[in-house]
Structure 1
Amino acid sequence: MIRPVTLQDDFVPLAELLNRAFAPVAEAFGLTRENSPNHNAFITAVELKAQLTGNREFYLWTEQELPAGFIAIERSASAPGTFYIEKVAVCPRYRHAGVGRRMMEFATERIAALGGKRISIGLIDSHNVLKSWYADQGYVQTAVRNFAHLPFEVCLMEKKLIDRAKKS
């Protein structure tokens, strides 16, 4: 089951979920709090709560009432019709059970309902398994960029949404 996260929620277990879910990525790619302080493997409850703003929505996925996944949707401030999916996190215990894909399907439907025309995601460029996972869901690579504050190249991928008005 998925539900929206609000400012009234306890962000400590949410940050812990992100930390656990992203820890293997941080370890595999040599990320530390020192070289990548904003990575989700190191996010604190205070930092996470501060990111829940008017243009960003957070959702918690539960399995048998236990936190299993987390996903964020952000409306672009500069590109009308563009939304970003961020913080796609699945607890290790629930991996390879379809939770991530179901969260992505939910986010896609939510973005379409909000009038989104395209979805953009960013990930570590050398994370080929994740790149393939997104490609299997219809995302295509649009660019690879370097950002001064990140110790890795970022792969940008995009998925265009079908206009429901034209589809009917």
Structure 2
Amino acid sequence: MADNKVSIKQFMKDECLQESLMVIKDSFITVAKEFNFTEENCPSNPAFTNLEKLHIMRDNGISMFGLFEDDRQIGFAALEKANDNIFYIERLSVLPGFRHKGYGKTILDFVFKYLKAQGAKKVSIGIVNENLLLKDWYILYGFKETGLTKYKHLPFTVCFMEKIVDE
């Protein structure tokens, strides 16, 4: 990451949504394969999303951001305002070949700076509880587990986590 130009861009219209879709799908498919998620047993998993769903997210006011190394998009994050104080991070992803190099932290650092400017007090996420590597990564960043929920329609337990914006 040291020699490459890294930037984060907000997508205001349709630009880069197709590229973002590929980043999301390619990033989440590794977890889907690891935990045997399929479109049949876990259709809401981002590995199985489509361009229409990204358009719906955007049309519903969800802010979308791409992480770029030089001119190549290698990451993605979406932010949804739950209320005046809480935002949700959705679809946070880094392409497999770029993981463990600080790019995820770069996205989170940007997200927290951006949300602080928006007046957010808290950030919330939901992850696959069984994905201990990811869960530990969020804990290292300062997120705290707030609850576990097992939904009938999902083949995993959802771990809800939160972090105060100013921490």
Give the structure-1-normalised TM-score: 0.90
Spell out the pairing of 1:16-165 with structure 2 (5 A cutoff).
16-76=22-82, 79-162=83-166
State how far apart, in whole Å, the 2-side matches of 1:11 and 1:161 are: 27
Deviation at 1:147, TM superposition (A): 2.4
Q: Go from structure 1 to structure 2 and tell me whether the alpha carbon gap of 1:62 and 1:6 turns closer, same or farther (over 3 Å shift).
A: same
Matches of 1:150 and 1:117 in 2, distance apart?
A: 30
Distance 1:53 1:147, change over 3 A: farther
Give the distance between the partners of 1:53 and 1:75, measured in 2 at CA. Answer: 13
The amino acid of 1:162's aligned partner reads D
Output the CA distance in 2 between the equivalents of 1:68 and 1:91.
Answer: 5
Matched-pair identity in %:
30
The separation in 1 between residues aligned to 2:114 and 2:95, in whole angstroms, is 22
Q: Is residue 4 from structure 1 mapped to residue 16 from structure 2 by the alignment? A: no
SS of equivalent to 1:136: helix
Contact 1:81 1:115 in 2 (8 A): yes
Consecutive unaligned residues of structure 1, counting only runs of 5 or more, are 164-168
How far off is 1:150 after superposition?
1.8
Q: CA deviation at 1:80?
A: 3.4
SS of residue paired to 2:87 = strand
> Deviation per CA, 1:62-114, whole angstroms, max 9, x where unpaired?
101001100011100xx430111111110112111111110011001111111
Give the length in aligned residue pairs: 161
Return the structure number with greater relative CO, CA threshold 8 A, min gap 6.
2
Q: Deviations over 1:106-138 (max 9, x none)?
A: 001111111101110100011111010000011
Deviation beyond 4 Å, 4+ runs, structure 1: none
